[in-house]
Structure 1
């Protein structure tokens, strides 16, 4: 068990999918500080190994495994690895995702399919396997959507469509699995300081500036701020919250 025995996630075993960078890596630090025992997963082993070493050196109970969320066998594998390592699963943060810039008429079929495979199919595969592992003990799952799944904007059509689909999966799962004692919610980050935002800024700085300047708090969020929201939803403090899509956007969708 991680050394913080009084945090929001103390005593919880949490699977963190998409943990190698950005919001996922920040979530690993936040969840560990909140007392969770963590299984980290992503495609990049080097990044996971470095992050795991950092957290275990600080006294936290963290392991990692690699996998691609769009591959069913990989998803089953990292859920099984969590149960084998920690003995059970209490919660999961499904955060793996990719972006694709371009108007809907500019996105290639190959790029559209890849966004859907990671962001939508990957979320579905994770939900399916996590429910199997949570079993009769129940638990909590948080999916990463986006404010792009709530409102439209030009230039991110495939990404926004995928994140709207994540909201649909989340709400359906809340109904499907609520009777099993499993809560399923989503967070919807707005502009967040991350590798994804910085890559977008390099390609179209004016577009990013417009979005950040429209945030009532007049700043992009941080990965830790997004992770703190996810940690609360995973915790017992949110025990009657189910099927919610929580914006973490500085008021942009207000």
Structure 2
């Protein structure tokens, strides 16, 4: 579809499902043209079919861990949209294993998508972000703040994303581009419904002061806020959207009665 040069543009990676798709919807509702990137061709095609007839969406296949794909994808985007007002680095994978069972291949796969992908996409999008004086939001995780079992690669990648965000904020801020990160706690996604047992859900309810999972809408609202004029002086910050999970610390259930 044709888009006027003055339209605000948002690029969302890992956007064909879950939190990424909800973020895309949030920006589209604010009259952005949203470009959805994903490396799952079937899911991306289904997403495109589902959104057919709804304006202000574009779709690009891209594996964010592949430097050449990232470069070619963003060259294509920038040829059509010279200004990128928001870049949401959401694409990520998780491999949950005990630390001594994590292979180097596991470690590399997680780092390549989560950390390298965030770095690569930001660099590739930078000309458009500078043109728009835009905003970067990186999706980290509360697992980057609170260590827990089975997450040695995932948690480390998310902690690294938090520091990468601060580096971006310092280095790009004086050029007019802000960078912040969201650290979601447990979120009610289709994946969580499949993977989290009743026991896991009870444990999270005990540990989170609000005693519930977050919603994809709540994460998307926080992301949009950080890209909006209301957050114009917020730069280099990590916003935990976690129902108080991090603030609760140890939070022994036996001490709460």
> TM-score over 0.5 for the alignment?
yes
Q: Of residues 36, 43, 46 in structure 2, which corresponds to 1:47?
A: 43
In structure 2, the residue matched to 1:210 is 203
- What is the CA-CA distance between 1:208 and the residue it aligns to? 4.5
Q: 2:84 aligns with which of 65, 89, 106?
A: 89
Q: Which runs of 5+ in 1 are unaligned?
A: 3-9
Shift of 1:196: 3.8
RMSD of aligned Cα (Å): 2.0
- What runs of 5+ residues in structure 2 fail to find an aligned partner? 248-257
Instruction: Give the CA deviation at 1:248.
Output: 0.7
SS of residue matched to 2:126: helix
Of the three residues 124, 128, 149, the one matched with 1:133 is 128
Instruction: Pick one of 235, 242, 245 that aligns with 1:242.
Output: 235
Q: Give 4+ residue runs of structure 1 displaced > 4 Å after superposition.
A: none
> How does the TM-score come out when normalised to structure 1?
0.89
Structure 1 SS opposite 2:188: coil
2:175 matched to which residue of 1?
Answer: 180
Cα distance in 1 for residues equivalent to 2:202 and 2:79: 46
Q: Deviations over 1:212-237 (max 9, x none)?
A: 43111111111111011001111122
Residue pair 1:15, 1:79 contacting (<8 A) in 2 also? no
1:66-81 paired onto structure 2 within 5 Å: 66-81=61-76
Decide which structure has the larger Cα Rg and report it: 2
2:26 pairs, out of 9, 19, 30, with 30
| Cα distance in 2, alignment partners of residues 56 and 232 from structure 1 | 27
Partner Cα separation in structure 2 for residue 46 and residue 36 of structure 1: 25
Count of aligned positions = 244
Q: TM-score, normalised by structure 2?
A: 0.88
Query: What SS does structure 1 have at the residue aligned with 2:97?
Result: coil
- Indicate the larger mover: 142-151 or 106-115: 106-115
Query: For residues 97-112 of structure 1, what are the structure 2 equivalents within 5 Å?
Result: 97-112=92-107
Question: 1:97 touches 1:119 (CA, 8 Å); kept in 2?
Answer: yes
